[in-house]
A and B are shown apart, each in its own frame.
Chain A
């Protein structure tokens, strides 16, 4: 039987990896992260997690 993918975990994992990569690039001086970009990055991550959680719970 084919296992179902938990979309919420998948999306949360991917956006957290993206956020972590952004922060890592700042820490190794590849880019200079400032609040102007940190805020949309954090809000986007949290929003995507919430949205995916809500949509995943609704799907049958």
Chain B
């Protein structure tokens, strides 16, 4: 039998487990609705005194209503209701737990769904993490849940590696996982601190405040990691992640190690990885930059750079040499970049976008890991090669007559008609032959 340790990465509340290898609840009370007799957890050592969860404390008077509904002496426990079930019993379970009419929660879920779809995710997360009434919540049951979750995530990893495409991960799964984790954390926080006393507004506000504070701290850590990486200190953050991993390995000789260290390590590593993969760099400063060179000689040799913000390079005044190629380098960490060119210029590009899209005169490609390559032949027309390196954001290369560009216009990305993928050869204005290769 292991000893309780505070903070478990798999327990977002950081609460010490009353018993780490045996849930005392199963040893003291039957499951509401299950009708099974209490059982001693099988891995409780002989002679050990089973710990009692706070929520097994004697009920106070205001709990009478709940007790009457759930059975006298039954510990408070958030479960999905079977009797008050419309879909999954989530609202019914919440209503019973907080002694509030479930309709209130149903309206809340519906409103959150209409206001951006959050309600659906929250409901699905509750379906996933809140146990059904009468379901097994023993340590073996929780371990099974973790094992299944781990297997699912590993399967996703394998699929993503085989497909070499991150879309699945950054699609619906990440918000679902975050919401699920938050929901589970709130559930554990509420369950762990519910000592049988009635849930008052002030107590609920305290829990919400605690959860919000923890989320804020996690966000601050992740934001600091991303910012430091974009500022060029990613190697230091990576070294810290490795050091935390070393501490975890070193702690493995303790009964439960220091598993909670995995959480800060991931909070540092994930944003570091995203910024690194997108190749975001804040080198070049922040804000709105607008350049309007008058000649080729005015073009900076190392190109234009901006860390984050909006970059506009207007080349319509530049008389590009006919029959020759002029190179324009652009590097943008995060934001949008626009290049304005004359209609009589053949524009080609070799652009990489970590996350976002690139648009060349209405042809575009978007997503993650976008490589957009356009080659062309020209006869006498001037040719401009735009070499873009965009971290997160967009690059648009536009030919607009004077007076028609308001500095905010965006192309309609639907005009490409599947033109982005695969190699394509077309005729295009000043370019006599255009080849497009795109991946993303």
Contacts and interface: CB of A to CB of B under 8 A. Distances in A.
B252 A35 contact: no
B147 interface: yes
B296 interface: no
A39 to B, nearest CB: 4
Interface residues of A, number: 49
A42 B173 CA distance: 13
A10 B257 contact: yes
A53 B266 CA distance: 15
A47 B258 contact: no
Contacts of B318: none
Contacts of B164: 36-37
A26 B151 CA distance: 27
Nearest to B244: A16
A34 B277 contact: yes
Interface in A17-60: 17-21, 23-24, 26-28, 33-55, 57-58, 60
B277 A9 contact: no
Contacts of A46: 153, 266
A40 B146 contact: no
A15 B256 CA distance: 17
Interface residues of B, number: 73
A17 B276 contact: no
Interface in B344-383: 354-355, 368-369
Contacts of A14: 245, 249
B142 A57 contact: yes
A23 B149 contact: no
Q: Which of B151, B239, B254, B273 has the most CB of A within 10 A?
A: B273
A16 B179 CA distance: 23
B235 interface: yes
A36 B166 contact: yes
Contacts of B165: 36, 39
B70 interface: no
Contact of B146 (A9, A16, A43, A57): A57
A47 B152 contact: yes
Contact of A39 (B160, B237, B269): B160
Contacts of B143: 53-55, 57-58
A40 B254 CA distance: 30
A38 B274 contact: yes
Contact of B355 (A12, A18, A35, A42): A35
A58 B257 contact: no
B43 interface: yes
B273 A38 contact: yes
A47 B146 CA distance: 9
A44 B157 contact: yes
A44 B161 CA distance: 10
Nearest to A49: B262
Contacts of B261: 12
B150 A8 contact: no
Closest 7 CB pairs between A and B?
A9-B257, A51-B150, A13-B248, A54-B146, A50-B150, A54-B147, A47-B153
Given A12-B257, A13-B247, 19 more contacts: A6-B255, A9-B258, A12-B248, A12-B261, A13-B245, A17-B249, A19-B269, A20-B245, A20-B265, A23-B269, A23-B276, A24-B235, A39-B165, A49-B266, A51-B151, A53-B10, A53-B259, A57-B143, A58-B144
28 contacts: A3-B253, A4-B255, A6-B251, A6-B252, A9-B252, A10-B252, A13-B247, A16-B244, A23-B234, A34-B354, A35-B278, A36-B165, A36-B369, A38-B277, A45-B269, A47-B151, A47-B157, A48-B150, A48-B154, A50-B146, A50-B149, A50-B150, A51-B154, A53-B10, A54-B143, A57-B21, A58-B140, A60-B21
Interface of B: 2, 9-10, 20-21, 43, 139-140, 142-158, 160-161, 164-166, 169-170, 229, 234-235, 237-242, 244-259, 261-262, 265-266, 269-270, 272-274, 276-278, 354-355, 368-369
